[in-house]
């Protein structure tokens, strides 16, 4: 990902209308994506990777979509119902409370991208509201926590770690110093390059 900035100038020329292209790309990814593992295996993988970092609490929910099925499981693997994922159009999604994400979500404000990693995975900002919007790779659920999406397990896990890290920086801003946000147009370009190139190769490698 380190060379993305070198490719941004050409991507910036096509920023106009990029939202529509990104939406179409995500919808195509959902249509073609079938999670490679059984839902319970995906749950256990996410738990094993995230629990040591203070994520994947007892309130965690995993959403899995594929083959015409939409499954929601709680942290124990039991099937549950939830309207939280009604608008989610990804193959995988995770809700969790987090520590700093929960604190930041209380503010009811969007989370602006301040690093290249955020721009690549999420775009210019992570919205905040009652439930995720369609086509949102990440979303802060007001007074509850966060939802992140992914086309494969590693992307889902990376997104969960990144949003908690970004919220930590916001919550501790008074202690660690002022946060410098990236230009929204630059974020859109980086996100477009990530989806079109880097993440596509990662997904192809993951699918084998």
Taking 50 as the threshold, does the pLDDT of residue 11 lie above it? no
pLDDT score at 201: 62
Indicate which CATH number applies to the domain containing 45.
3.40.225.10
pLDDT score at 2: 46
Which range, 36-40, 78-82, 194-198, has the best average confidence (pLDDT)? 78-82
Give the integer Cα–Cα distance in Å for 77 and 44: 9
Give the integer Cα–Cα distance in Å for 51 and 15: 38
Task: Dump the DSSP string for 147-204.
Answer: EEEESSHHHHHHHHHHHHHHHHHHHTHHHH----PPPHHHHHHHHHHIIIIIHHHHHH
pLDDT score at 21: 55
Taking 80 as the threshold, does the pLDDT of residue 131 lie above it? yes
Taking 60 as the threshold, does the pLDDT of residue 4 lie above it? no
pLDDT score at 175: 84
pLDDT band with cut points at 50, 70 and 90 for residue 117:
very high
pLDDT score at 169: 94
**DSSP letter, residue 53:** G
Condensed to tens digits (0 to 9), the pLDDT of residues 83-105 reads 999 999 999 999 999 999 999 99
Give the integer Cα–Cα distance in Å for 117 and 162: 8
Give the integer Cα–Cα distance in Å for 155 and 81: 24
Decide: 161 and 98 in contact? Cβ < 8 Å: no
pLDDT band with cut points at 50, 70 and 90 for residue 51:
very high
pLDDT score at 33: 45
- How many structural domains comprise the chain? 1
Which structural domain, as residue segments, surrounds residue 192?
4-207
pLDDT score at 115: 95
**DSSP letter, residue 46:** H
Mean pLDDT computed over every residue of the chain: 85
**DSSP letter, residue 132:** P
Quick one: which of 135, 157, 136, 151 has its CA closest to 204?
151
Decide: 40 and 77 in contact? Cβ < 8 Å: yes
């Amino acid at each position: 990902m380190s060379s993305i900035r070198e490719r941004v100038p050409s991507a910036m020329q096509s920023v106009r209308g990029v939202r529509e292209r990104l939406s179409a790309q995500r919808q195509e990814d959902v249509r073609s994506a079938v999670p490679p593992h059984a839902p319970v295996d995906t749950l256990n993988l996410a738990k094993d990777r995230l629990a040591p970092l203070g994520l994947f609490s007892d309130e965690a929910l995993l959403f899995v979509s594929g083959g015409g099925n939409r499954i929601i499981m709680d942290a124990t693997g039991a099937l549950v119902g939830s309207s939280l994922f009604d608008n989610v159009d990804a193959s995988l999604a995770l809700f969790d409370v987090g520590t700093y994400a929960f604190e930041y979500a209380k503010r009811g404000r969007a989370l602006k991208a301040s690093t290249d990693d955020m721009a690549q995975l999420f775009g210019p900002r992570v919205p905040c509201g009652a439930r995720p919007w369609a086509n949102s790779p990440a979303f802060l659920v007001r007074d509850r926590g966060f939802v992140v999406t992914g086309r494969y397990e590693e992307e889902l896990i990376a997104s969960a770690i990144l949003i908690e890290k970004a919220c930590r920086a916001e919550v501790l801003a008074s202690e660690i110093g002022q946060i410098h946000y990236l230009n929204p147009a630059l974020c859109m370009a980086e996100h477009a390059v990530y989806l079109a190139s880097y993440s596509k190769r990662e997904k192809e490698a993951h699918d084998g």
